[in-house]
Every structure is written in C-alpha cells, then in structure tokens.
Amino acid sequence: MTRQTQVTLFDLSPELLHTIAPRVDETAAQLDHIKRGPATDLQRFPDDTLDAVLLTGPLPHLLEVADRRQALAQVGSKGYF
C-alpha cells in the first residue's frame, strides 16, 4: 500500500499561495488545504497533525527573537525542526 503525501500550504502572501498551489499538482503530493496567515499563528494546526514542516521564509522576517521561538515552538512539539 502506498501512502500519498498530503500537503497543506500556509503563508501570509495570497500571491504566493496562488502561485504555488497549482505546482503541487505537478508532484506526487495531494493538496489538502490552503490557509493564509502569519508564522506566529501556527496554533491553528492541532498538535500531532503535521508530520513535517518546512519553515524557511518567515524566520528572517520575524525580527524579535521571541517571535522566532514562538513560531518554532508551535511546530516543533515533537522536536522536529
């Protein structure tokens, strides 16, 4: 049995979400959700619902160390960064 990868896109920029969403179809992944919001609002994802998180873009834009720690702590409940 093959398990298909489900992808949730989450970004602050509607333009980026609009650009990236069709590209998921070019992969073996299935687009599960598209959500818009800031990296400091990851609590909208319940614990243990994401197996992996790619958090690359927002960290340089979060100027306060506390904001960076908050974003990482929200997605890193299992210690996976």
Q: Could you tell me the residue ranges of all domains in the chain?
A: 1-37, 39-81
Nearest CA among 51, 47, 52, 41 for reference residue 11: 41
Comparing 51 with 63, which gets the higher pLDDT?
A: 63
Q: pLDDT tens for residues 14-55?
A: 998 999 888 888 888 888 889 998 877 777 877 767 777 776
Where residue 1 falls among pLDDT bands split at 50, 70, 90? very low
Give the contacts of 67 (CB within 8 A, at least 6 positions apart): 39, 40
Size of the chain in residues = 81
Q: What is the pTM of this model?
A: 0.67
